[in-house]
Amino acid sequence: MFLSRALLVATALFAGVTAAAARSFTAQDLATLDRVSEPRLSPDGKFVAYQLREADFAANTASNGVWTLSLDNANASPTRLTPAGFSATQPRWSRDGKSVLMVSKHQVWRVAATGGAPSQVTKLPLDVENFMLSPDGTKLLVSVAVFPDCGADFACTKKRLDEAAARQGAGKMFDHLFIRHWDEWADGRRKQIFLLSLDAGGVAAGAPLWLSRGLDGDVPSKPFGDDRDISFAPDGKSVFFAVRAVGREEAWSTNFDIYRAAADGSAAPENLTKSNPAWDAGPSVSPDGRMLAYRAMKVPNDESDRFGIFVRDLATGAVREIAPNWDRSADELLWSDDGRTLFTDSDDLGQHRIFAIDVASGQVKPVTGDGHVGGFDLGHDRMVYALDALSGPAQLVTAKLDGSGTRTLTKFNADKMRGVELGTYEQFSFKGWNDDTVYGFVVKPAGVAPGKKLPVAFLIHGGPEGSFSNNFHYRWNPQTYVGAGYAVVMIDFHGSTGYGQAFTDAIKEHWGDRPLEDLQKGWKAALAKYDFLDGDRACALGGSYGGYMVNWIAGRWNEPWKCLVNHDGILDTRAMYFSTEELWFTERENGGTPWEKPETYERFNPVNHVDKWRVPEMVVQGGKDFRVPLEQGIGTFNALQRRGIPSQLLYFSEENHWVLKPQNSVQWHQAVESWLKRWTGDAGRS
């Protein structure tokens, strides 16, 4: 029996729709849903503050507001703290719980926990990117991008930026790599952390103390680092942070280290993890201030090695790994109040769960079930987290620290989703490469009549060390294809996360064979198991590595497919190395540089098989994608056109590796759905 395994209250919210009233889920529905994130418990544990993203589709933008909700009153309604038009992120409670701090207009602001007009905390000439309150609430740590030789003289950096903007000559000179990263060109600045004193009114005053001085790196890291890589000691005398201070090697190194800096600026930062040449991250100090927990990889220059959990005795310097036999990769680390338990979240067999780990014994226990945890926080005796699944978008959930007493707190998007019928889904497994068990998901429209055949969207995830798991994705969401009348098949091939480190590592130097074998066997298994899949009307789609795989199967496994869709995918693995920004990724994936391991780059290079391409393909490319640069997409389109294969290029000049603007997202989905329909015919054929 084909059953949805949803945990979310969203299932109940979106259920009970009569057949006559039901309508399909659309791309515009997806683009306009409210998105909750950043749940933070108040000091007394009675309220949760959170960030809610709301889209303005007509304006093609989205803004974030900060809200609170009582946890003790089951009938409480959310309270919006920020006024309309005041976009704010990163809600954090004051130490007394009487106000909430946040970032808005590139500065830190404060608003009373009961609401009211926000007041400005920082008035710096430069943008604040992240912040953290000291334990006693009298100081504010901020991350600000400065020119290293300007340091704590913010006016110096501002003057230089203004002079560069006014300069008539547009040329930029570089003498080392990371000339561009993700979607921005480098300008010579580094994100550094500074400590500001707060006056009696809670406003930043006085000269900033430069705590990360002398380190040639960004704190937090670019482009997605946040305050999870920064931690205060409970007594406020020390600050711990992760930084990759490797100078000119930055583009091919993942050697992040944990540093300790004196909060009074009296000493240079001390490297605590110098002995580990791999990635150290996420410092978190125990409540008694004696132990430092952090995450660490063991393989240098690898971004997808297992993050193990380590604890350092801050008095003796002794380090030990917690739960070394737990074959999962840890994410955020939070201590329980008594310091006996560490909580973390991790991919796990197609889910993303919270786990409780006993510090003394290393015993690991999952405390959430199926679904995808998108952020969590701990109080004295309870936790709060955002939970989504294939069955619906995220809601806030609270539970006891052992996972019991689960209660869903919110009903986001209930009005927007009223009358919308989402598809049902099932996880399945099969024997893949090396006879390993491989998992996948199938999603289909609800209420499909027996014997009815559905065209198929075969989705291939990116990363490649990622997962098409049980989550409600805002770019590759199977429900949009289900809403258009398609069934969806997704395979977590070798290289995917959440199935053990050996499974993840199996893709290294094997981009084109082991994952392809899993995809082929998964497709065969799905067709055998689900009789509603029409194997004669199927298209394969993927982004990033998934786009690479689309180009690879175009020449190596094109028999099943009526069409292909490649979003920001690689055409030429060798050329990719010489134009991408994070060189450690391509070097680790291919076993070295192209001049060291040319055979690996060429063995699985899609460009070498263009002569076998025959299937119609749509190419999507972002103009600001510096991860998989523009020429890879144009090259794919050139090859298709020159060979006379029906093809289209959808180009977004202002988008990066992702399509983020609401109207662009809808255009993307509508173009892709039109392409699928063109080659598979009307969806839902009997």
Can you say whether the dihedral through the CA atoms of 587, 588, 590, 595 is positive or negative? Answer: positive
Q: What tokens appear for 318 in the block? A: 């002794």
- For 62, phi then psi, to 5°, come to -140, 150
24 is a catalytic site residue: no
Rounded distance between C-alpha atoms, residue 121 and residue 138, angstroms:
12
> Choosing from 229, 492, 505, 625, which is the catalytic residue?
625
- Name the token pair of 311: 């604890």
| Integer angstrom CA distances of residue 659 from 45, 634, 650 | 37, 17, 11
What is the amino acid identity at position 354?
I
The HSE-up count of residue 455 (CA atoms within 13 Å, CB side) is: 25
SS3 content of the chain, % helix, strand, coil (to 5): 20, 35, 45
Whether 567 is catalytic: no
**304 Cβ partners below 8 Å, 6+ apart?**
463, 465, 497, 504, 505
Is the Cα dihedral 368, 379, 306, 291 positive or negative? negative
Nearest to 351 by CA among 497, 465, 494, 476: 497
Please report, for residues 307, 346, 366, 377, the alpha-carbon distance to residue 352 in angstroms, rounded to integers and kept in the order given.
15, 5, 10, 15
Q: Token match 């190395």: residue?
A: 577
Report CA 307 to chain centroid distance, whole Å. 16
CA distances from 483 to 389, 448, 678 (A): 16, 12, 17
Alpha carbons 538 and 564: distance in angstroms, whole number: 9
- The catalytically annotated residue of 104, 544, 647, 665 is 544
CA-based angle 400:102:355, to the nearest 5? 25
The two three-digit tokens of residue 195, written as one number: 């400590």
- Alpha-carbon span 63 to 447, nearest angstrom: 36
Instruction: Considering only the C-alpha atoms of the chain, give the largest distance between any 2 of them, rounded to a whole number of Å.
Output: 75
> Is 648 within 8 Å of 618 (Cβ atoms)?
yes
Give me the residues paired with residue 617 across strands.
564, 647
Which helix (H) or strand (E) element contains residue 48?
A: strand 47-56
Active-site residue, selected from the candidate residues 372, 494, 657, 669:
657
218 among known catalytic residues: no
Which SS3 state, helix, strand or coil, does residue 471 take? coil
Q: What are phi and psi of 64, to 5 degrees?
A: -115, 135
From 101, 163, 168, select the one nearest 137 (Cα to Cα).
101
Q: How far is CA 622 from CA 32, 466, 650, 651, in A?
A: 21, 21, 9, 6
Cα–Cα separations (whole angstroms), residue 560 to 102, 432, 534, 536, 674: 51, 18, 11, 7, 19
The answer to whether the Cα torsion of 62, 675, 426, 452 is positive or negative is positive
Provide the annotated active-site residues.
544, 625, 657
